[in-house]
Amino acid sequence: MSIHENLLHGFELLSEKKVSEINCLAKIYRHVKSGARLFFLQTDDDNKVFSISFRTPPTDSTGVPHILEHSVLCGSRKFPVREPFVELVKGSLNTFLNAMTFPDKTMYPVASRNDKDFRNLMDVYLDAVFYPNIEQVPEIMMQEGWHYELENAQAELSYKGVVYNEMKGVFSSPDAVLERKIQETLFPESPYGVESGGDPEFIPNLTQEEFVTFHKKYYHPANSYIFLYGNLNIAEELKFIDEEYLSHFDRIEVDSAIVRQKSFDKTLEHTYSYPISVNEKPQDKTFLSLNFVVGEATDPETTLAFEILEHLLLGTPAAPLKKALLEAGIGKDVFGQFNQSILQPVLTVGVRGANEDKKAEFLKVVYETLQRLCTEGLDKKLVEASVNIHEFQLREANFGNYPKGLIYNIKCMDSWLYDESPLLHLAYEGALGKVKTALTSRYFEELIEQKLLQNKHQAVVVVKPEQGLAEAKSKELAAKLAEYKKTLTTEEIEGIVKQTESLKKRQTTPDTPEKLATIPLLSLKDISRKTEELPLVEKKIGATKLLFHPLFTNRIAYVNLYFDSAVVKQSLLPYLFLLDGVLGQVDTEKYTYSELSNEINIHTGGISSASVAYSEKDDDTIFYPKFKVKSKALVAKLPELLGLLGEILGHSRFDDKKRLKELIAELKSKFAAIILEKGQIISSSRVLSYVSPVSKFREIGYLSFYHFVADLEEHFDEKFAEIQANLHQVAELIFTREGMLISLTTDEADYKAFTDSLPRLCKKLHTAQALPESYEFCFGAKNEGLMTSAKVQYAAKGYNFRRLNFEYQGSMRVLETIMRYDYLWNRIRVQGGAYGAFVQFERNGNMVYGSYRDPNLAETVHVYDEAAQYIAAFKVTEREMTKYIIGTMSGIDSPLTASMKGERAAENYLQHITQHDMEQERREILETTEEKVRSLAALVDECMKQNYICVLGGEEKIQQNKQLFAQLVSVFE
């Protein structure tokens, strides 16, 4: 066949293959004129995905790939508005819309179930990457990357920029510092040795000229990887891409090859520092890691084998390397990581909560344990468990809120980017078959010997705490900027002032209606007026209530158990969250915790738990504490699943002192990381706990829980008997037949298989049902400044509007969209330089504003206080109002997997949210008008006037604004 016979709208079909593993027909194309690559996965899925990616290896740590990722979405040839990305978020039915910077590539994926919307998204993204306004409008790089900020000639000179502050926030986490330093150490001569996201120390070295040059070099179709997925008409999509974009480019050679790092002659060892507060103790806060470069991402068998090996060695309570390190007392938390999204994948063995003087012992334990496993052999049951859980996950292909096509896109880039077939990791049966020989051979033992013990491409990376490092760097930066300002002439200073004014003018000048009209928009007619009904059939099995959700699940049963935990007295509530932290990781009467872990992974798709509280839909003072246990298994394995659930819930033992001590230390370490990485959750939950009973209960599992486990760890020996007794008491109180509600999601035909196996669970549960407790919480505006060594803030302000006699209405959901992507976006992100901000209204009356990775504090709180004025004056065109409504509906109608539908139905049931309530909310959203938005100004104003605030952030910034707080709290001791 000649090339012309095989051409479709400028694309040559290179190969076509059915991929049974993911039930897709895969087609690989090449655009003849431009050189663009295109990969299409044809399937029945209506959640269609498009993405265009570029290979973008950085040469320094100025963050140019990351800043460019932000910036190309700030206006283009066909769509000259300031931020097309935001306009799409406001007014698209997208199921995913974002862009992502990796160490060696930049991806621009979108997804939608609506054909017209899908085409609109594709058009805006293609125009953005090929024709951005970055050269004509230098303020774009200044805003998204960095710029000198100078309000007037007398003011202090400072740096500002969205990516600059985002990365300051990222590197406030020692885990992120460790991850960066591992790559820097392992790949000194490769693009992976620098930070593609940008290091705040180097971001200000980036010039506008270098920025534009990077785009011109790499953002050409010949260096692009276009991906399409779903039940779409490929001929129509190829025609559009060719005619509108690719046909306008000629093929060129783009030198974007990833330089391979040569192996080392010997193991490298490097120690780095991360900041902690001057009031924080440095003991037990060092990270130790041993890191191996293991082959290449283009070897699918080795890649899959190492995914499983990392889990086998470090990922479960039965993992032998994890156990050896914990038993040696080297650190508080052992973790493993396998990074396969780079050309030369890396396996990391790490320990948190250690001390630098334990480095030699750490290495001795790792090497000796690996050698012992090679000599004595791995436990075959452990091997079976790790292989089984990975096979279950591969076949289930349940990615939660993320579209399947998006995950397949990311996975295919792990080979396609490196000039191999995009199918390499998607068609996994061959590789899996070879790895499964480990069940009857020395497969993993040989892998450890060859790829780890005999491997010279490895590095020991230690990241240790340094008191006052953040403050010292802050002073050093201030002095550097002050010195630089002294070298400037009057004219140069005036130039920076004018540049600052020019940027602010661009940021505060609204787009004209004509420009806004260039962004394609759906009609409200494209949105169904009907809310999808979530299946729920109430049943009774003896005394047990069961909620059945009959849905197609491909012979998987999703079993969620909700135990009434209102029977636990107030003084023991922290133990509910501790029970969640240890359940399934301690011995039971029948199994040791290692054996239990293996049984779970061999027979199920996973068992997890959480202590939660569901509020009455319209009253946060009435709430239902539940201990939720989630599980899943193949229907054929239901007897084993229910037997294991019964064993865990009815017969867990809390008498192993050494094991409990390990778990409590691990929990403290993990929660410390969460506080630094997800500060917006901490500050938001904390501020609502000042006013709301249900939020007060939930907050016991956040910052309060960290302080609780920190105290338990410090006084463990003297408190062990108390801890053991309280865990036993709480488990006995809540895990009863009478207190259990079951939520089952599976096919109708498989219901009987569940009921037949249910006695295996019920007979092991306790029978005595206690009476519900009443909780007396203290409330009031604590207004805490929660101080850490972070370089950014997470500022929250909130209240409960029902206390002020306001009612919930669906238009509040539209207001969330308006505030997040207009008022807060412009004031806090665009002008303030924060990574983002949001407002949330709940049916029960709780409302909260929050910012994240925010360089400001008082200024952000002031923005919250002025929000009511903006809402009161809110005035937009009918087109803009439609846009906000559509953008809101994209979140309401995000596609749910069968397991998510069952879970959502059960939780609506617990909160007494009916189909009528959901229909009413939908109607109120679709009928939102300017007037209805403006009518919410009084509600927001009254809530803000109550002045309930909480900020988690840098000690220096909080101290500078201490007048805002009733109390200052050092989060870490």
What is the identity of the amino acid at 46? D
Return the DSSP state at 765: S
What is the identity of the amino acid at 120? N
**CA R_g for the chain:** 28
Give me 161's structure tokens.
Answer: 């920029």
CA angle (832 as vertex; 827, 838 as ends), nearest 5: 55
d(CA 60, CA 75): 26
- Helices 915-926 and 878-892, interaxial angle, to 10°? 150
Out of 83, 87, 139, 144, the active site residue is 144
d(CA 541, CA 342): 52
DSSP 346-371: EEEEEEEEE-GGGHHHHHHHHHHHHH
Q: Can you give 441-492 as a three-state secondary structure string?
A: CCHHHHHHHHHHHCCCCEEEEEEEEEECHHHHHHHHHHHHHHHHHHHCCHHH
Give me 953's structure tokens.
Answer: 């952030």
69 labelled catalytic: yes
d(CA 42, CA 119): 17
DSSP 308-321: HHHHHHHSSTT-HH
What is the identity of the amino acid at 747? D
Closest to 972 measured CA to CA, from 284, 177, 289, 350:
284
Give me 937's structure tokens.
Answer: 């100004």
Contact 74, 140 (CB under 8 A): yes
User: Quick check: helix, strand or coil at residue 97?
Assistant: strand
Return the DSSP state at 154: T
144 labelled catalytic: yes
Contact 317, 607 (CB under 8 A): no
Residue entry with tokens 């030369």 = 344
d(CA 622, CA 912): 12
Contact 31, 238 (CB under 8 A): no
DSSP 546-612: EEEEE---SSEEEEEEEEE-TTS-GGGHHHHHHHHHHTTSS-BSS--HHHHHHHHHHH-SEEEEEEE
Distance from the Cα of residue 470 to its chain's centroid: 26
What is the identity of the amino acid at 392? F
Contact 775, 574 (CB under 8 A): no
Q: Which helix (H) or strand (E) holds 970?
A: strand 967-970
> Virtual CA dihedral for 679, 680, 683, 685, nearest 10 degrees?
-120
Give me 283's structure tokens.
Answer: 């003991």
- End-to-end CA separation in angstroms for the chain: 72
DSSP 17-40: EEEGGGTEEEEEEEETTT--EEEE
Contact 584, 609 (CB under 8 A): yes
What is the identity of the amino acid at 953? G
d(CA 665, CA 687): 27
- CB 960: neighbour CB atoms within 10 A? 12
d(CA 806, CA 693): 18
d(CA 558, CA 685): 29
Return the DSSP state at 522: -
Alpha helices (H) along 621-778: 638-651, 657-677, 679-689, 693-699, 703-714, 716-734, 751-757, 759-762
Catalytic residue numbers?
69, 144
